[in-house]
Structure 1
């Protein structure tokens, strides 16, 4: 067999479990043995024919093998509106969800049932309230009249607003028409409908999807009354978590926040219902008047937290031109100076080598298991120094840096035509 044909065959990726190279070697030996008994012109013709057949066999087997592998690893995806999670499973599960949020006025306040998920493992409900009681539990009644109580599992609250999740460990018979009861005087009854969650084979099937710098974001859009709703879900390395999709942004990056423009180039205000889970991932904007509108959602940058810790030793006395360098989350950090403030505390200046021209920038970290005060750069938002307490009568102290926060730049852009997502 000619060297050229051998080289072409060697370039083909072969799944290791198919042993095709062994098969190919046997066929090659047979071929060369037969060619030695033929005239040279027939040898060349037969080499091309048999080699082409072998190539076809290999390619067909590779395609079949890759298809089988893809089928084996392909997951069934179900998105839970309002709660903002995607359930990935080997096969679809009967899971019931609340398609759209429900708002209920209670006296001078209101509550919003933002999401409900019911499956074989659990029931999860998320509710936010403004100027209302923070409920300890909710009662649900199904179509057959069976009653179920779901207790509050987690909550956050301020002076006027609160958010809470209600969780039940196990399966409840809740689907279709359901009534939710709140402990008010008089009792508040909210009728709602739970529908079976749609199943998808890929994130792109759920909504518009964009990828930048290793992060893939999907915008799942629909209409709620006179507003557009879009929910964001992301695929990324398990080594990081997303803290903000750019809705809140860094105070020094006001022009880099998430934004929506309509077909006329008008920038539309984006709203977020305060939820219990981070990051904020469900947003609303008011639909523009007129037909044929399309909206462009842009996420210029996102803010993430990496799972990394670094322990170092630093001097506890004033030290100028220290230039002590370490690495955290893959980024270099230089401690440029130490200032001893008093007997109990010091200030540590750092250079994060921040650049606006890189795909990602470290802009913050903190001390593990120690309180500290941070000063940020007014122009970039990067950390300038940390102040913290030190042990008395020690020339050096060991400290651990944790929770490195990394800004990842996009942009991620999504076209959301009204006739596809919002005309219903």
Structure 2
């Protein structure tokens, strides 16, 4: 209700009251005083009755207090103590919305005989088993839009602590339920994430690697190489690794034109283009081809490779061999904290390939298993149950230090045994070591400068300026083949990119480095360089029975 309407309503009330007083002869002449309070109260009630207004009786408030028309009052709570009555002179809200009666409500308090209820007024809705609603005082003009208070449950005393309201309890329950839901979702998410992040070791034949992959999304691989004649030569599909997000294929060609691109075709007719990422030129070429997007493929499907002049396939792909632990992928041996695993793969009825895998302390990587002479005349050996040596076939085209190819003995007695007396590792995380040496103006100068690289001593014994642009430096790495570990060589680096090239010389028997040849600037009196990535010989043996 706006201000104009409210003023009109009160003028109407005042006019009716004066009319009623005149009719009863209760109006006194000016200056003779005003009617008493009882007469005014009776006249007001009769006037309100004409308008159909019936305020419920309530404890009195001060006669001069008029409540805030827009104040929001709390709703009645069940089992609340009666609210105080309103003053007798209050004019009730003509449009006030009163709560409806709830089923099983207690009877409402009696109204005065001369009050008539508002025909449009909405009466309070009693809560089940609620106490009777209190009466409003006759002299109080209630808020036209006010929401009446709910009775607080079991209020013992006005000074008692305010009880928690039902709507607050509902919010508390809702918040608690939400927290439980979030917790449940979090626990479920954690479980799902753990399952999603569960990794398995996957062996990729042909590439000779082990990688971590999702247990639910295995890589598909070609288990054995496939050779196909091509003119006077042949092409070999050495490896196929189809992963969820990429596919890698390697081809090896002998006496054939190099292949730069081809199409992979799946069993349902879909085609995917492959282009080479690396290609090695020689009489025997090797190409690595890459497709950087997913290829949908199930375990039952086969693929074909559509090369420029031929088709290879169908090729059957299978899920990669998986395991929780490296040693479960094949036969293994461990020594000095280094584990070596041999995975055997039949190539044909006469030939088997052994792929060597390893696990080392962080930063170290096996550079040689001893397939070639690693120091002196020592190299790995494969023998049968009677001690007879089984020859390892020579690599053709490219060195494959991790792969051993051998023919099956015609009369093999007992199981085969692979023995590796030494291995050589490279420590790629070793800190680089800066070295500064004086450079003679010409000729030879003795040195006795010792530094420590990854815990191993390195002594520079002499330096010689061979010409104005080069020096030769004598090196002693204190090699000891009988030791558990001994330094064999290292790499050299320079800050100046024009001076990075260098050469070295090794001892033919022990294969330890004994000399460096480095470039220098004309007139340079000091040379600075860095030692890094030490090569360390580690004594075994690692003995692996092959069943």
Give the TM-score normalised by the residue count of structure 1. 0.75
Contact preservation (8 Å) 2:507, 2:514: yes
Task: Give a deviation string over 1:376-416, Cα, whole Å, max 9, x none.
Answer: 11221111111121122221121122332222222211111
Residue equivalent to 1:198: 321
Residue equivalent to 1:332: 457
Residue equivalent to 1:154: 278
Task: Give a deviation string over 1:19-48, Cα, whole Å, max 9, x none.
Answer: xxxxxxxxxxxxxxxxxxxxxxxxxxxxxx
In 1, Cα distance between equivalents of 2:394 and 2:360 = 23
Taking only aligned residues, the RMSD between alpha carbons, in angstroms, comes to 2.4
Contact preservation (8 Å) 1:335, 1:350: yes
Residue equivalent to 2:292: 169
3-state SS in 2 of match to 1:268: coil
3-state SS in 1 of match to 2:483: coil
2:331 to 205, 208, 231: 208
Q: What pairs up with 1:22-421 in 2 under 5 angstroms?
A: 75-89=199-213, 91-158=215-282, 160-175=283-298, 176-184=301-309, 187-225=310-348, 226-250=350-374, 253=376, 255-271=377-393, 280-290=401-411, 293-307=414-428, 308=430, 309-317=432-440, 320-369=445-494, 370-417=500-547
Stretch moving more, 300-309 or 208-217: 300-309
Contact preservation (8 Å) 1:305, 1:404: yes
In 1, Cα distance between equivalents of 2:232 and 2:305 = 20
Residue equivalent to 2:55: none
3-state SS in 2 of match to 1:267: coil
Distance apart, 1:285 and its partner CA: 0.6
Change (3 A) 1:92 1:213: farther
Distance apart, 1:286 and its partner CA: 0.6
In 2, Cα distance between equivalents of 1:378 and 1:292 = 37
In 1, Cα distance between equivalents of 2:379 and 2:412 = 28
Task: Give a deviation string over 1:172-217, Cα, whole Å, max 9, x none.
Answer: 1245311112222xx2333210011232111121111111223211
In 1, Cα distance between equivalents of 2:366 and 2:279 = 20
Distance apart, 1:292 and its partner CA: 5.4
3-state SS in 2 of match to 1:141: strand
3-state SS in 2 of match to 1:205: helix
Contact preservation (8 Å) 1:83, 1:115: yes
3-state SS in 2 of match to 1:332: strand
In 1, Cα distance between equivalents of 2:333 and 2:532 = 30
In 1, Cα distance between equivalents of 2:406 and 2:492 = 38
Give the TM-score normalised by the residue count of structure 2. 0.59
Distance apart, 1:71 and its partner CA: 11
- Structure 1 gaps of 5+ residues are 1-69, 418-424
Distance apart, 1:298 and its partner CA: 1.4
Task: Give a deviation string over 1:130-162, Cα, whole Å, max 9, x none.
Answer: 11122112321111111111111112232x111
Contact preservation (8 Å) 1:351, 1:384: yes
Larger radius of gyration: 2
Distance apart, 1:367 and its partner CA: 2.0
Change (3 A) 1:90 1:110: closer
Contact preservation (8 Å) 1:74, 1:201: no
Distance apart, 1:170 and its partner CA: 1.9
3-state SS in 2 of match to 1:323: strand
In 1, Cα distance between equivalents of 2:509 and 2:218 = 50
Contact preservation (8 Å) 1:163, 1:274: no
3-state SS in 2 of match to 1:256: coil
Change (3 A) 1:119 1:274: farther
Distance apart, 1:224 and its partner CA: 2.0
In 1, Cα distance between equivalents of 2:306 and 2:507 = 49
